[in-house]
Structure 1
Amino acid sequence: MNFYLNAASMIGYLKNGMEFDSWEEAWKFRVDYGGKMGFGVRKDYSNKNRKDEVVTSEKFVCNKDGFWEIDKRDHLYKAPRVETRTGCRVAMKIVFDRKKCKYHVSDFNGEHYHDLHAPICVHLLRCQRSITKSQAEEVDLAYDAELTQKKSFAFFSVKSRGREHVGFLLLDQKKLPSDQRGRGLQFGKVGSLLMSFKDQASQDPSFFYAFQLDNEEQITNIFWADGRMRMDYELFGDIVTFYPTFATNKDHRPLEVFIGFNHYREQVIFRASLLYDET
């Protein structure tokens, strides 16, 4: 109940006349605002100038705005469409001011006709979920290491200190398209993995990786840590726990991680390794 009261008191932060430097900034503010309030956001329409393709106006609405069309499928259908829209009229319209080169809120309605989501559920809303470029590189890295989607998502969850902080769901990860997943045919399993490491290092200057070679100069074990892992180790590396069976890939090679705890007793990962030779 306190959440709804706090959310209602936040309405004053958003009002007519509020200015933004770009429509992307306005959209991000609206999404963040909706997350704090407890509702989802979607775009209703967008108008552009035909000459310069500048967005002249755009309207953002609550995800429960309007109603779905009547489901014309057989009433005995096993998976009927779930009614998720209630006709909510909450909306924010922005208009481009060419003199100021800014967007301003021209029409805002903040009164909902439905219950708001609790804070622990907000991260499940579609508008709150997105996979960043660096996260996409990590997904490709896990794919090249031949980890299953479920195991790689579990790794991301521990690394992000909870599923609610990952920024996307397992379903989103499965739908993520990749141009790199055919590299295994060209470079081989290990070569494809090293290509992923190079891509990750280009996105994160603090990313570190190393590998061991056997007598025949074949890669046996691979180790890596990104910038966040290394920073966490500097802050919380007094006590380190070795987790030798965190996950295994399709070839039953173990993914081993070094784990510690932060000041909030949340698990943090300091380093990960994929062992091709367990000896």
Structure 2
Amino acid sequence: MRVPDCDPNPSNEGHKPFLAVHNHDLVILSQLHFLRSNHEVPEVMTSHVMSMNRCGIKTSSAVAHMALQSSGYDNLPFQLKDVYNKVATLRKLDNLPSDSKGALAFLDDLSTKDPDIYVEYKLDDQNHLTNLLWADGVSRRDYMLFGEVIAFDSTYMTNKYNKPLKIVFGINQHFETCVFGYVVIVDETEDIYC
């Protein structure tokens, strides 16, 4: 279709007429999945990815599996980032295990292997982990022998939660460093250290 060079109506001087007919393809079929309307991850595929995540399979591997079944990523009706966004949203809504619950579960699992491990933690009003202290059996025995002088090393706010990680340590009879325990704290107020 040919677009007229000028407006046939002189009263609309400087304006071209609106043509409701497209003179080109809207999108190439191989790029259809880039359109915003095609970024919705179908419920069945979301459930599939979530169940694979619960079995320890990463989201990227789950999507790679679906792409293999669909003969390529171009045939999926979404992009990998869409799946990550959907999974993150569902985890927030479903209140799936958080990092703090995972850490506590890990320490609980260690207690089956090391009966002398010591773990203490505090939760706030919203049931969020605020402070966490742990020391394994070897660290506790080292503290009993060499705990006259202790030191704190602060890895200051370098984790993704901006919470101070404290390493409590000392020196043994051979001038070697002994780790007595680890502490993750919510802040560095005086009450925390008492």
Rg (Cα) greater in structure: 2
Query: Would you tell me which structure has more helix in proportion to its own residues?
Result: 2
TM-score by length of 1: 0.32
Query: Would you tell me which structure has more strand in proportion to its own residues?
Result: 1
TM-score by length of 2: 0.45
